Chains A and B, each alone.
Chain A
Amino acid sequence: MPKSAAFARPHRTLFVTAAVATFALALTGCSAAGADDTAAEGRTVSTEFGDVVIPATIDSVVVLEGRRDLDIALALDLPVVGIPTMDNAEDRAIEPPLAAAIAAAEDNGAEEIFLEDEVNLEAIAEVAPSLILSRNSDIEPIFDELSAIAPVLSVHSHGDMVSWQDDLLFVAEATGTEDTAADIIAEYDARVAEIADTYAEQIAATPVAAVVYNDEGTSVQSTRLMSAALFAVGALPSEIFAASSELVDEGIESSPEQTFDIFDDAGALIVSVETDEAWAGLEDDQLWAQLPAVQAGNVVRTDKMTNEGGPITAMAALELVEQLYAGL
């Protein structure tokens, strides 16, 4: 995926977009094929890359990144036809939250049309979608080419400090699915309230943290989806978890030697590891084993799939939050 000239200013990109659009329109005028009927009631949406016209009826959607964008598209029941190749669900130790929804979409005609991280413009052009949806940093370098194929909508990543709810509402407004979005958010909020009420005591009494654990050490970041789910139910953050929420868009990485020191005040932990061997390796880690939360057995396992996502992943994250507090 190209990243040079990745920081073009929006207004210059707008100019180039306009130039390409004009050029394409001119060619369309010259070509023998009849011009496409641009939908009379297309919505004009203002995005960070300029104004984009979305057709009123959306027949097909291509998603480029596979996490928040795909989650939102599936949650809004948009007709997804193109997705990037992702790790097989069978290869992962824990079933990904989106696996069921993706399988359903694939039954309805969605296909993996390019490799993760290797956006294949021709494959997208071949599918000729009505809408392209992806993450802003993936779109920016190839915005001109993408918008020549189809209108492009962008969502953010968790490091941008924009919540999935805001992105969901944005996409819903652009695609005319506001009602579905409102229902989804209401469902999420209801679930949050339910957990917060049922476990109010435990929540107030137990400092918690969401940790990513690997060979290099541990990482805590408050903007990850899993962390956001904890904060949503009003969790009491442990010291390092609270410290990470003061950083704007990065996490706190610590070496293996710090493991005991930084988590010894947490009463319960959600830990993300990638493989079963890594999970078994946790038990061999003497510093980890001495942690109060571990000795009390208050540890819930997840993996990187809950770092980023949209409504479907968020609901799965809430399940883990409930599991954590229910075990106290």
Chain B
Amino acid sequence: MSSPTRPAASGASTFLAAPSRSLRFGRFSTRLRPRHLVVVAIATLLSLAVAVVSAGIGDFTIAPGRVLEVLAGQGTRREELVIITIRLPRVLVALAVGLALGISGAIVQTTARNALASPDLLGVTAGASVGAVAVIILGGHNDGKVSGLLQSIGVPTGALVGGIAASALVLLLLRGRATSGLQPILIGVGVSALLGGLVSWMMVSASISDAARANVWLTGSLNGRSWNELWALLAVLAISVPLLIPLASRLGTLDLGGDVARGLGVPMLFTQGALLLVAIALASATTAAAGPIGFVALVCPHLARLASAASRPPLVASGIIGALLVVSSDLVARTVLAPIQLPVGAITALVGAPFLLWLLIRSRREVRR
């Protein structure tokens, strides 16, 4: 069984891996990896910089320095309208989406010990699409005469439920099989195809206006994302991140393989299950907030791992690099063909798909696990 999780190139860099230090506070100790910290710091600064610049760019361009002043409350009414009401939620949602996708991708890749695993390829995005489209199309019109349950749930929850259900299906089909190798990816592709067929069915049977609305949602765009989406996403992040702190420390052990991890006393099933649940929730919440945005969860863990010369994708760095990627892609999406606003998912696909192809080509020359 093949499992291209350890590219030869990073074998060299693991050899030159960054040294790490231990910090002890009384009974607690933790490892510090300086290079990782540097990567996180740089990525954070870059993300914030791009965010500030992005908040200043648009029909009405404001210099970054002025943007900071406006954020501090010293802008004119018009500037505040544009930056705080219109652009800020969008930029914050972009950062949150990237953060969630980066973390989710890192978890999935480490837990599955599979360099090509990602929530999109495991059916989460397709499931969320089914959920959201079902709500939009079956939910009826706004005049109160609607199927009550679907209407009150709303699109984001539908997406959340759909994502989790699809992942459950994939995990069910994977039951008992190893998660490394490409077979789980194929199962994910198959489940995504099935769910995509269901989406097509619903789109074809729907009225034109409903189909148009569903189509807009399916493109994965940050247009008009507002505070509602941000709060929902931040809520999921706020719940997930504390859960990750104890679990993350076990990721390194999981990475060594099931047998070794068990030998070291890690409760494998529980840890893997909990981690995957968090990853799926993050990915579903992202899809619920902004539609399906592909390739971020696949690409960012690789970038984070290469940048911090680690043996496995570091969670925090993946998240921050994800935030950087999404907010930059959104900036490009908004400006490259102005006044037309492209969906951010299109930009991430244009960048991510060649990256995936490159990963596939590279994976041939690897040592098998």
A149 touches B224 (CB 8 A): no
Give min CB distance, A279 to chain B, whole Å: 20
Stretch from B6-14, B138-146, B294-302, B357-365 forming part of the interface with A: B138-146
* Contact stretch, chosen from B118-126, B191-199, B226-234, B273-281: B226-234
Contact in complex: B141, A5 (CB < 8 Å) = no
Q: Which residues from chain B contact A16 at a C-beta distance below 8 Å? A: 227-228
A7 touches B152 (CB 8 A): yes
Among candidates A20, A32, A141, A249, residue contacting B76 with C-beta atoms closer than 8 Å: A32
Q: Which residues of B contact A6 (CB under 8 A)?
A: 136, 154-155
What distance in Å separates the Cβ of B101 from its nearest Cβ neighbour in chain A? 16
Bound Cα distance from A118 to B80, whole angstroms? 22
Residues of A within 8 A of B142 (CB): 136-137, 140, 160
Known contacts: A31-B76, A249-B145. The answer to whether A125 contacts B86 by CB under 8 A is: yes
Indicate with 1 or 0, residue by residue over A219-263, a CB within 8 angstroms of chain B CB atoms: 000000000000000000000000000001111000000000000
Task: Give the CA-CA distance A149 to B224 in the complex, in Å.
Answer: 14
- CB neighbours (8 Å) of B132 from chain A are 4
Shortest Cβ distance from residue B150 to the other chain A in the assembled complex, whole angstroms: 9
- Complex alpha-carbon distance, A159 and B210, angstroms: 11
- Interface members, chain B 65-87 (any A CB < 8 Å): 73, 75-78, 80-82, 84-87
Q: Is the CB of A4 within 8 A of B85?
A: no
Distance to closest chain A CB from B209 (angstroms): 7
B291 within 8 A of A: yes
Name B's A-contacting residues (CB within 8 A). 58-60, 73, 75-78, 80-82, 84-87, 132, 136, 139-143, 145, 151-152, 154-156, 159, 207, 209, 212-213, 216-217, 221, 223-229, 232, 288-291, 339-341
Interface string of A1-17 (1 = CB under 8 A from B): 11111111000000010
In the assembled complex, which residues on chain A have CB atoms less than 8 Å from the CB atom of B217?
3-4
Alpha-carbon distance between A145 and B86 when the two chains are bound, in angstroms: 6
In the complex, which residue of chain B has the Cβ closest to the Cβ of A144?
B226
Residues of B within 8 A of A120 (CB): 59, 339, 341
B340–A115 contact, CB under 8 A?
Answer: yes
With contacts A122-B60, A123-B59, A161-B143 known, is A148 near B76, CB below 8 A? no
A28 at the interface (CB under 8 A from B): yes
Partner of A160, one of B141, B207, B216, B226: B141
Question: Interface centre among A4, A118, A120, A157, by most B CB within 10 Å?
Answer: A4
In the bound complex, residues from chain A placing their C-beta under 8 Å from that of B289 are 4
CB distance from B33 to the nearest CB of A (A): 37
**Would A126 and B141 count as touching, CB distance under 8 A?**
no
- B60, A4: Cβ atoms closer than 8 Å: no
Interface residue? A94 (CB, 8 A): no
Report chain A residues within 8 Å CB of B151.
7
Q: Which residues of B contact A128 (CB under 8 A)?
A: 78
Residue of A nearest to B139 (CB): A7
> In the bound complex, do residue B223 and residue A2 qualify as a contact, i.e. CB atoms below 8 Å apart?
yes
Closest residue of A by beta carbon distance from B85 = A148
Q: With contacts A4-B229, A4-B289, A136-B142 known, is A33 near B340, CB below 8 A? A: no
A8–B82 Cα distance when bound, in Å, is: 23
Q: In the bound complex, how far is the Cα of B58 from the Cα of A120, in angstroms? A: 10
Give complex CA distance A4, B293 in Å. 14
Q: Is the CB of A118 within 8 A of B155?
A: no
Query: Which of these, A2, A149, A157, contacts B225 with CB under 8 Å?
Result: A2
Contact call B223/A118, Cβ cutoff below 8 A:
yes
The answer on a CB contact under 8 Å between B155 and A3 is yes
Instruction: Assess the B143–A4 pair: CB atoms within 8 A.
Output: no
Residues from 288 to 314 in A contacting B, C-beta threshold 8 Å: none
**In this complex, what residue of B is CB-closest to A251?**
B207
A130-171 at interface with B (beta carbon < 8 Å) = 136-137, 140-142, 144-145, 148-149, 156-157, 159-162
Chain B neighbourhood of A248, CB < 8 A: 145
CA distance A137 to B81 in the complex (A): 23
Which residues 86-145 in A have Cβ within 8 Å of B in the complex? 114-115, 117-123, 125-126, 128, 136-137, 140-142, 144-145
A27 x B77 contact (CB < 8 A) = yes
- Tell me if A30 is interfacial: C-beta within 8 Å of chain B: yes
A117 in contact with B340 (CB, 8 Å) = no
Nearest Cβ on chain A to B81's Cβ, whole angstroms: 6
In the assembled complex, the CB of B115 is this many whole angstroms from the nearest CB of chain A, namely: 31
How far apart are the CA atoms of A20 and B151 in the complex, in Å?
25
A-B CB contact pairs (8 Å), 27 listed: A4-B155, A4-B156, A4-B159, A4-B288, A4-B291, A5-B154, A5-B155, A6-B155, A7-B151, A7-B152, A8-B154, A8-B228, A24-B77, A27-B73, A27-B80, A28-B77, A33-B76, A118-B341, A119-B224, A125-B82, A128-B78, A136-B142, A137-B141, A140-B142, A149-B85, A160-B142, A249-B145
